[in-house]
Structure 1
Amino acid sequence: MNKLSSITTVCLLSIGLLAGCSSSKTESTATVAPTSSEVTPVSTSKVKKDITLTYIASQDWVKDGEMKLAKKFEAETGIHIDYQIIPADQYTNILKTKLNAQEAPDIFGGQSGKSDIVTQYNVEKNAVDLSGEEWVKREDPLSIEQASVNGKVYALTVWDNTGSWIINYNKQIFQKLGLSIPKTYSEFKSISQKIKDSGITPIYEPISDGWHHVLWFPEIGPRFEEVTPGLTDRLNTNKAKFADDPTMLLALTQLQEMNKLGFFGTNAFSDTFADTEKNMASGKFAMTLNNPSEPANIEKAYPEMKADNFGFFVMPLADNQILNVNPAAPSKFIYSGSQHIAEAKQYFAFLAKQENLQAFLDSEPKFSTLNFPNLKDKFTPEQKKFFETYKKAGTVFQTSINYLNAQWMDIGKELQAMLGSTSTPADVLKSIDKKRESIAKAAKDPAW
């Protein structure tokens, strides 16, 4: 991915190097920045400012389209954006360390989510209240809800709000083998076995990144809720446990079985998410778990493999047939201790301009729309067919269940052990409960 020459790619080997991540700041010629509780209007001044805003983010959270807009923003204002991109498996710990040391950059990236932005980032202390910004009135209310605490908005989210993680399948392979879209796990298992018997690996699952394989579990949270109505509320009030839910146990048992049967191939533990397009374009894999916009990304990288060669269906673990929706997404926060709060707000306002949102959407192959109104979407006939097929939708568990998303990478390690048969599905669920309890108590949740 092409990046601005000014980007610093941070690969930290130890927390002791954290001080090196903090870039020096050029003092603004503007007046002293207000506190995080004050609302600062966006400057309309045409005078350029020689200022650098440092922005720290996890891998894959900053798209090429935003970087192009940053160049435009700098040309118009003189305000330079210095992106510091950190590997996903290191990002949360590094950001927390910086926040705790009160050495965070001007802008920091973080996953939105009503409970996560409190437990992970303590936004009421560490982030600026953005409630008075103009774009708040236009952003999707579901996105705003996931970036808010006690009625105050703390982040700008610019993301594809239809980016559900679903099965992308090669229609040519399915047609050649006479396969139909499965509606149950039994049917899914049957078609996967037929694909494997034909010499094609059924599913491209990049486990090595540590995060992707986790999606198979919390993303089908709406199915868990459907089987046991009220489960979400009981989990959030500490009246139910993951380890006691038979549908969760069933889903993880099926996921483990898929790997044992060889549906992920022989290299899943070393396969990487970055190689998804290459491997799906090769025809050596029939399916992968990705967003509805992934086929366009495959075609862009490998023009011989057309996007319309791929179709979609939801993950059928535990016989799920509900579309998984996640209104939370990678978001941008302004650090309350920044010396350039006004300029950071100016950058947010710039990104949220209608013409810039459209330019960002047009340039990002993985997105078909954004969480702002009146934009020209890029839905293909196949995507429209998919959304018409799965009209029943529900919110994924990492967003609807407190203290779950915060342990995503830990769950990834637990699932790796389970897929490697050194632990069991029951062990994974018990571990999730234990970590939820620890996080809840640290947050002084009265339910715990």
Structure 2
Amino acid sequence: MTIRSRWTLAVVAAGSLALTACSAGSLGSSDDSGGGSVEITYLITNQEQDLKEAEQLAKDFHAKYPDLTVKVETRPAGTEGDNIIKTRLSTGDMPEVFNYNTGSLFQAIAPQKNLLPVNDEPYIGDLDENFKKTVTADGQVYGVPVGGFMGGAVLYNIPVYTKLGLKPPRTWAEFMANSAKIKAAGIAPVIQTYGETWTSQLFVLGDFHNVATAEPDFADRYTKNQAKYATSPAALKGFEHTQAVHDAGYENPDFASAKLPDGLRMLAQGKGAQYPILSGVVADMVATHPDAAKNVGLFALPGDDASKNGLTVWTPGALYIPKTTADAKLDAAKKFLAFVASPEGCKSQASVGAPTGPYAVKGCELPDDVPQAIKDMQPYLDQQGASSLALEFVSPVKGPSLEQITVEVGSGIRKAKDGAARYDEDVKKQAQQLGLAGW
């Protein structure tokens, strides 16, 4: 299972709402038959934060366009939600606007057949290039971003770094040197929380910027079964780093049983100094440990070359318009997408929850009170070549067992080369099920 889908499931388990047609986001008249008023429906997942943001967007959109109303409807997340999306598209029963994944899962819903392209919309030049890649099929762009990027990175305790005179590393050698000094100070250098196995994958999946920098065509060759983790020196390093941290004794003593909340607590309290994880966990950490907003920073997983240091990013989800949208409602749907893909839309979302990372729309600025770790992501996105999409956004090839394999490598049960080879075998079945050439 990918980090993205596992994170989604974790959030759903923590606080989801029952499937329902929710009209809380609807304001004003719902009559679209007279007086020029039009109502459109916006379908989202039933995660609590998604619902809050959707209702706020609906409210603020209606305030700008009093004759246009957005009704919010929810669906489950995960596989059940994926099946609902595919079914409603195939039966022509999809609402005027819906929120769905980007990358390989976007490609799986046949965008050329089912979705309306937005290439000609005036905001298209304001969308982040990394994001546009994940919603493009046959040269056509189909979606606009909602929410912020997430980074696969290392969260670090700033007071610990300051006390020990350390700087965020830009190479793996510097990272290991920092870790040695942290261990000598009696603090756990690298927090690992294998009690929740999905968290074990960051040294591999978060390292993809370094892979893509060293081997720019890796994703394409990987998709064609022409490149492997076990035989690519650049791709193998993620497994080697996972092993190296364990072999050096840099993990927290309870790494095998600790879970995400334990890791966040250790980091916030300075009992652990560095935590490879998704930036999406920052909001939960700050909610429980408010001082972490200023005491925890973020740096990209370092590779071999400091001059090419950069961040692996997970793009936000996107809003799409199905081709089945009635002509009478199409203009309203287009205006809603334009509103979401604007500084006004970003401000609306930020008013009900801290962003997971920088927005994918030019002109959208992070709030001043955003946690330091989220602020630390922005320079990577602003600098040309300092960020890369996670592999799952540029290749459909992925396997379900990576998190178990990285737990084994990070626990000393399996060597890095063996773990990489096992993952290469793990992805084969799915690639064959997808009918990819070369498998």
Q: TM-score scaled by structure 1?
A: 0.71
Q: Taking structure 1 as reference, are residues 83 and 344 closer, same or farther at Cα in structure 2, changes over 3 Å only?
A: farther
1:160 aligned residue? 148
Identity %: 19
Q: Taking structure 1 as reference, are residues 302 and 444 closer, same or farther at Cα in structure 2, changes over 3 Å only?
A: closer
Structure 2 CA distance for aligned equivalents of residues 146 and 203 of structure 1: 32
Structure 2 CA distance for aligned equivalents of residues 419 and 328 of structure 1: 27
CA RMSD of aligned residues (A): 4.5
Unaligned stretches of 5+ residues in structure 1? 1-8, 13-19, 32-43
Instruction: Work out which of the residue numbers 71, 80, 101 in structure 2 matches 1:111.
Output: 101
1:426 aligned residue? 417
Work out whether 1:359 is the aligned partner of 2:359: no
Structure 2 CA distance for aligned equivalents of residues 385 and 270 of structure 1: 33
Q: Taking structure 1 as reference, are residues 176 and 228 closer, same or farther at Cα in structure 2, changes over 3 Å only?
A: same
Q: Taking structure 1 as reference, are residues 110 and 242 closer, same or farther at Cα in structure 2, changes over 3 Å only?
A: farther
Instruction: Give the letter aligned to residue 95 of structure 1.
Output: G
Q: Taking structure 1 as reference, are residues 347 and 264 closer, same or farther at Cα in structure 2, changes over 3 Å only?
A: farther
1:36 aligned residue? none
Q: Taking structure 1 as reference, are residues 101 and 234 closer, same or farther at Cα in structure 2, changes over 3 Å only?
A: closer
Q: Taking structure 1 as reference, are residues 179 and 322 closer, same or farther at Cα in structure 2, changes over 3 Å only?
A: closer
Structure 1 CA distance for aligned equivalents of residues 396 and 239 of structure 2: 19
User: 1:270 deviation in Å?
Assistant: 4.9
User: 1:149 deviation in Å?
Assistant: 0.5
SS at match of 1:365: coil
1:97 aligned residue? 83
User: 1:143 deviation in Å?
Assistant: 1.9
Structure 2 CA distance for aligned equivalents of residues 341 and 111 of structure 1: 23
Aligned runs of 1:23-34 on 2, under 5 Å? Answer: none
Work out whether 1:316 is the aligned partner of 2:302: yes
Instruction: Give the letter aligned to residue 149 of structure 1.
Output: A
Structure 2 CA distance for aligned equivalents of residues 140 and 389 of structure 1: 10
Instruction: Give the letter aligned to residue 44 of structure 2.
Output: Y
Answer whether contact 2:208 2:312 (CA < 8 A) is retained.
Answer: no
Structure 2 CA distance for aligned equivalents of residues 351 and 159 of structure 1: 9
Structure 2 CA distance for aligned equivalents of residues 153 and 199 of structure 1: 51
Instruction: Give the letter aligned to residue 402 of structure 1.
Output: S
SS at match of 1:121: coil
User: 1:402 deviation in Å?
Assistant: 1.7
SS at match of 1:215: helix
1:393 aligned residue? 386
Structure 2 CA distance for aligned equivalents of residues 165 and 361 of structure 1: 21
SS at match of 2:227: coil
Over residues 311-341 of structure 1, what are the superposed CA-to-partner deviations in whole Å (9 max), with x where a residue is unaligned? 4433235677520243733223445677897
Structure 1 CA distance for aligned equivalents of residues 42 and 378 of structure 2: 43
Answer whether contact 1:322 1:390 (CA < 8 A) is retained.
Answer: no
Answer whether contact 1:232 1:400 (CA < 8 A) is retained.
Answer: no
1:195 aligned residue? 182
SS at match of 1:355: helix
Aligned runs of 1:94-243 on 2, under 5 Å? Answer: 94-99=80-85, 101-102=87-88, 106=95, 109-113=99-103, 115-118=104-107, 120-161=108-149, 163-228=150-215, 230-243=217-230
Q: Taking structure 1 as reference, are residues 205 and 73 closer, same or farther at Cα in structure 2, changes over 3 Å only?
A: farther
User: 1:245 deviation in Å?
Assistant: 1.6
Q: Taking structure 1 as reference, are residues 224 and 378 closer, same or farther at Cα in structure 2, changes over 3 Å only?
A: same
Structure 2 CA distance for aligned equivalents of residues 48 and 136 of structure 1: 25
Structure 2 CA distance for aligned equivalents of residues 198 and 129 of structure 1: 56
Q: Taking structure 1 as reference, are residues 65 and 116 closer, same or farther at Cα in structure 2, changes over 3 Å only?
A: closer
SS at match of 1:54: strand
Answer whether contact 1:183 1:316 (CA < 8 A) is retained.
Answer: yes
Q: Taking structure 1 as reference, are residues 422 and 315 closer, same or farther at Cα in structure 2, changes over 3 Å only?
A: same
SS at match of 2:43: strand
User: 1:70 deviation in Å?
Assistant: 3.3
1:41 aligned residue? none
Structure 1 CA distance for aligned equivalents of residues 58 and 71 of structure 2: 7
Answer whether contact 1:361 1:368 (CA < 8 A) is retained.
Answer: no
Q: Taking structure 1 as reference, are residues 341 and 61 closer, same or farther at Cα in structure 2, changes over 3 Å only?
A: farther
SS at match of 1:202: strand
2:360 aligned residue? 371
1:15 aligned residue? none
Answer whether contact 1:297 1:365 (CA < 8 A) is retained.
Answer: no
User: 1:215 deviation in Å?
Assistant: 2.7
User: 1:220 deviation in Å?
Assistant: 2.0
Structure 2 CA distance for aligned equivalents of residues 220 and 300 of structure 1: 28
Over residues 93-142 of structure 1, what are the superposed CA-to-partner deviations in whole Å (9 max), with x where a residue is unaligned? 223433454478646544322x4422x43333454444454543432343
Instruction: Give the letter aligned to residue 84 of structure 2.
Output: K
Answer whether contact 1:201 1:265 (CA < 8 A) is retained.
Answer: yes
Structure 1 CA distance for aligned equivalents of residues 187 and 346 of structure 2: 40
Structure 2 CA distance for aligned equivalents of residues 185 and 205 of structure 1: 17
User: 1:216 deviation in Å?
Assistant: 1.9
Q: TM-score scaled by structure 2?
A: 0.72
User: 1:302 deviation in Å?
Assistant: 4.0
Instruction: Work out which of the residue numbers 395, 399, 403 in structure 2 matches 1:402.
Output: 395
Instruction: Give the letter aligned to residue 47 of structure 1.
Output: S
SS at match of 1:286: strand
Number of paired residues?
407
Instruction: Give the letter aligned to residue 415 of structure 1.
Output: T
SS at match of 2:189: strand
User: 1:421 deviation in Å?
Assistant: 4.5
Over residues 188-222 of structure 1, what are the superposed CA-to-partner deviations in whole Å (9 max), with x where a residue is unaligned? 23432442343422233444554343232133223
Instruction: Work out which of the residue numbers 285, 293, 298 in structure 1 matches 2:272.
Output: 285
SS at match of 2:146: coil
Structure 2 CA distance for aligned equivalents of residues 56 and 142 of structure 1: 23
Q: Taking structure 1 as reference, are residues 302 and 160 closer, same or farther at Cα in structure 2, changes over 3 Å only?
A: same
User: 1:398 deviation in Å?
Assistant: 0.9
Work out whether 1:55 is the aligned partner of 2:44: yes
User: 1:235 deviation in Å?
Assistant: 2.9
User: 1:64 deviation in Å?
Assistant: 4.7
1:6 aligned residue? none
Instruction: Give the letter aligned to residue 416 of structure 1.
Output: V
User: 1:147 deviation in Å?
Assistant: 0.2
2:6 aligned residue? none
